[in-house]
Amino acid sequence: MSINLKSVYAFAKEVHQKKSDKVIQYGTAGFRTSYEDLDHVMYRMGLLAVLRSRAKAGQIIGVMITASHNPEVDNGVKLVDPAGEMLEQSWEQIATKLANVPDNDLQSEVETIIREQNIDMTVKAPVYVGMDTRFHSPMLAKAVMNGIMTLRGTPTDFGIVTTPMLHYFVVCGNTSGAYGQPTEEGYYNKLINSFKNLRGSVFENGAYRKKVLFDGANGVGALKMLSFARKLEPCLEVEVLNKNGKINFNCGADFVKVQQKFPLSFEDVNPNVRCVSVDGDADRVVYFYKNDAGDFVLLDGDRIATLLASYLIDLIRKIGINLKLGIVQTAYANGASTDYIVKELKVPVACVPTGVKHLHHKALEYDIGCYFEANGHGTIIFSTPAKTAILNASEDDSLSEESRTAAKKLLSTINLINETVGDAISDMLLVETVLHASGWDLSEWHGQYEDLPNLQLKVKVQDRNVITTTDAERKCVTPAGLQAEIDTLVAQYPRGRAFVRPSGTEDVVRVYAEAASRQDMIKLAYDVAKVTYKLAGGVGDEPQTPKL
């Protein structure tokens, strides 16, 4: 295969020029910024996807165009590695450099990557491309395609899909269909068949009712759930709301989690109706409802992790096999959830830095690794030996009927899970399965434990990089003196906990605080925000504690 690398520069100069000196960084969620600044980045990520595929001996690489829970004006792009995981960390630096070099240096930078990574440019390079529903996604996808074809890669355009669907397609393609069929219909069928098998012929049980209201964040999740909903009947009735408006505007999982209030279209929902919300690209999911007093009640990623872990523990106990189950959290996990997992479920908990790539990597250390960020992004991973042990148990005639039945149920549960990445639709169906099996409504689920009041704030700063952290982002290293101030403040409140960390996408510092009472929690959060503003170079108005 002959590739003229001069065409890399020529195409960039003529069609995909770098029009801004704005530096953009590949973070946990890839590149993400205003869509107007992304054309040249998309072209270059098309180039990089081809290089990455060849560096991985011709395995399929994914390119997803999305800005997830960000406002509609934003867009972004991230690469998906062969096993469906996030891009290898060392290549994040390569991506950042490639995205930011001047057009005149683009050809030489590509040549440097080829040389340093020892890439065989004769290897075929298949690349899967997907995008969310933002109006600017199609033109950005075209830039990605141009980059792929410039280096003679082979693109497959899946059009509008959820982020988890693209991850799923990549794994299916790289495993020759062993994980499933790399088509939208194959994705639907795998999840729906597993769900219906677990649900059986009894659609309602105890306090559980089969109707659910679905907040689609006016994004791709709404679009795909409309197709899912028809196929799920009569097992589950899903009414899709927020399906035609402005993406993520006053709706979606991030809005519900951070604002802790009802999204658009849900203000007048009846008490105890089960509601679920996903984000703009459908990789996060949270539940919520209105209680009898008319109050908003949230069931976030922490709650999902504890619910699913309880279910898995029960099945493993019934099978009678020895499997190590662990739960992975971030610093954002509510302290009450951690206490419940350790003291009641008696399951080990690990804490890692924010970002699915960190949680996923840690979860691989267990036979069954369950991870969910508090924002609702997560999944469950089963090791190959664990799957083999469960399969063997399902076929072992020496075991009791109850044990074999539990093993078969666990196998169906595995098929319902998208193990490649957090998948809002897959996770929703899994939660519905567990609630149905338990005969619970959301109030019974919520009754597992009581959350500590918590709050997240943003502090605008001149440069977010002045904040550095350690201990899974729970301790601040720089600027000097900030952690000591935080420790002094936390010590003043019963069950107080707080930390700060830099945003991965904008010049803000994120502040998290929790305490035994709502009043203490608010005071703590704003006190921490004030010292952060003071010591980390805050800009704009200084945070002001609201009147309580």
Ordered alpha helix ranges (H), 65-132:
89-100, 103-116
- Compute the distance between CA of residue 168 and CA of residue 249 in angstroms, rounded to an integer: 28
Identify whether the C-beta of residue 251 lies closer than 8 Å to the C-beta of residue 218.
yes
In which residue are the tokens 């769900």 written? 195
Closest by Cα among 97, 78, 92, 109 to 8: 109
- Check if 68 is active-site: yes
Identify whether the C-beta of residue 257 lies closer than 8 Å to the C-beta of residue 300.
yes
DSSP symbol at 213? E
Identify whether the C-beta of residue 508 lies closer than 8 Å to the C-beta of residue 465.
no
Identify whether the C-beta of residue 390 lies closer than 8 Å to the C-beta of residue 319.
yes
pTM more than 0.85: yes
Ordered alpha helix ranges (H), 136-183:
137-150, 163-174
DSSP symbol at 245? S
One-letter-per-residue 3-state SS of 27-84: ECCEEEEEHHHCHHHHHHHHHHHHHHHHHCCCCCEEEEECCCCCCCCEEEEEEECCCC
Per DSSP, which regions of 291-417 are E strands? 296-299, 325-329, 349-351, 368-372, 378-382
Identify whether the C-beta of residue 169 lies closer than 8 Å to the C-beta of residue 182.
yes
117: Cα within 13 Å, side-chain hemisphere: 21
Burial 6-23 (b: 16+ CB within 10 A, else e): eebbebbeeebebeeeee
Identify whether the C-beta of residue 132 lies closer than 8 Å to the C-beta of residue 122.
no
- Compute the distance between CA of residue 62 and CA of residue 167 in angstroms, rounded to an integer: 7
DSSP symbol at 244? S
- Compute the distance between CA of residue 219 and CA of residue 165 in angstroms, rounded to an integer: 14
For the chain, 548 residues long, give each residue's pLDDT as a single digit of tens: 567 777 777 777 788 999 888 899 998 789 999 999 999 999 999 999 999 999 999 999 999 999 999 999 999 999 999 999 999 999 999 999 999 999 999 999 999 999 999 999 999 999 999 999 999 999 999 999 999 999 999 999 999 999 999 999 999 999 998 999 999 999 999 999 999 999 999 999 999 999 999 999 999 999 999 999 999 999 999 999 999 999 999 999 999 998 989 999 999 999 999 999 999 999 999 999 999 999 999 999 999 999 999 999 999 999 999 999 999 999 999 999 999 999 999 999 999 998 888 999 999 999 999 999 999 999 999 999 999 999 999 999 999 999 999 999 999 999 999 999 889 999 999 999 999 999 999 999 999 999 999 999 999 999 999 999 999 999 999 999 999 999 999 999 999 999 999 987 678 999 999 999 999 999 999 999 999 999 999 999 999 999 87
401-416 vs 184-199: helix crossing angle, rounded to 10:
150
Beta strand pairing call for 296-299 and 275-278: unpaired
Q: Which of 2, 7, 53, 68 is catalytic?
A: 68
For 469, the enclosing helix (H) or strand (E) is strand 468-470
- Compute the distance between CA of residue 208 and CA of residue 388 in angstroms, rounded to an integer: 33
- Compute the distance between CA of residue 537 and CA of residue 79 in angstroms, rounded to an integer: 33
